[in-house]
Structure 1
Amino acid sequence: MALGALNGWEPLLLLSLSALIIGTWLATLKDIVQGSFKSNTYRWVWIAIVILLPLIGSVLYFFLRKQTH
């Protein structure tokens, strides 16, 4: 299905999923920037991971963050 052929509920679903992913990404970056880390190296590594792999990086961060703080 081409993107221009979306009709009915599909644009709303696409918009909702996009907003959820972007919101999660921004919340993750905010948490990284405001969080306390043992080393700034950990902070910069997490920022790089989350920027390069937004969805996967965010999920990994929230599952593993307690171990790196």
Structure 2
Amino acid sequence: MKQHERDEELTNTSPRPFPSREPSPVTLQAIREGDAFLVVGESGRFDNGADLIDAALKAPEA
């Protein structure tokens, strides 16, 4: 690709805004749900990564 073609491509791009330092409402909800799960102290659905992978491989495709 010639340099002037690359320059034209870059001219048509706009800078991305910096992300907010504040978490989104969805992120805050996920944090609250994770905290609530950990407070209960019960084990999860899978005891280890191998069980999770095994279940994922056996699951029907969506």
Give the TM-score normalised by structure 2: 0.33
Structure of greater Rg: 2
Which structure dedicates a bigger proportion of its chain to helix?
Answer: 1
